[in-house]
Copies of this chain bind each other. A is one copy, B any other.
Amino acid sequence: MLNSVSITPEAPRRVRLSPDDRRRQLLGIGLRMLVERPIQDVSVDEVAAEAGISRTLLFHYFPTKTDFHDAVVEAAVRRVLRNTAADQDATGEEALTQFLRRYLEQVERRREFYLALVFGNGTFALGGERVETLREQLSGRVQAMLGLRDAARPVVHAWTAYVEDRALLWSSVPARQRTTIEAEIDHCRRALQALLST
């Protein structure tokens, strides 16, 4: 028997969210799953179930599974950028140091997640482009904070790859057996200076 006014038993599970909040909620669930598994294993059915909505409603926000996966990976890149940003009022070497410290801490805290983000997002086109986006953004930021010429960009860009490799190696070693984060920051700063004068 249908009765559109009565409260159905399922109603309490289904919280009313604004479209923006719903989008954010779905991406948040996707991100949490992405920390533990490759993007192609993030199931829209599972995400919808966890949000307490139907698969159909999820597809209202993200028309296809690929759209959802793309949005989750983009949200992950934005999160890394947000987590590694220097303070708004910091400039120059101070900003660079803040960025390096937050970047190293981010990779250390979420090493598997970072590896997933950089080295495997299901298809290679997606992988390559996202990495490009991330390195573009990071190097643009460093260029801006240090007031470097555009000609320095390829060096700064490749330096972000250098720092990434250092961070992955550094974070793979147990804390007692590796150099301090200060020594690592210092090395990366001096490496950039050395490369810029190459």
Q: Mark A52-84, 1 if CB is under 8 A from B, else 0.
A: 000000000000000000000000000000000
- Asked whether, in the complex, the Cβ of B120 is within 8 Å of the Cβ of A115, the reply is no
- Asked whether, in the complex, the Cβ of A154 is within 8 Å of the Cβ of B127, the reply is no
- Asked whether, in the complex, the Cβ of B118 is within 8 Å of the Cβ of A119, the reply is yes
Compute how far the CA of A10 lies from the CA of B137 in the bound complex, rounded to whole angstroms. 57
Q: Which residues of B contact A124 (CB under 8 A)?
A: 38, 112, 115-116, 119-120
- Asked whether, in the complex, the Cβ of B195 is within 8 Å of the Cβ of A123, the reply is no
A101 within 8 A of B: no
For the complex, count residues of A whose C-beta is within 8 A of B: 37
Chain A residues within 8 Å of B, Cβ to Cβ:
38, 40, 112, 115-116, 118-128, 131, 135, 154, 157-166, 169, 187, 190-191, 194-195, 197-198
Q: Which residues of B contact A165 (CB under 8 A)?
A: 135, 157-158, 160-162
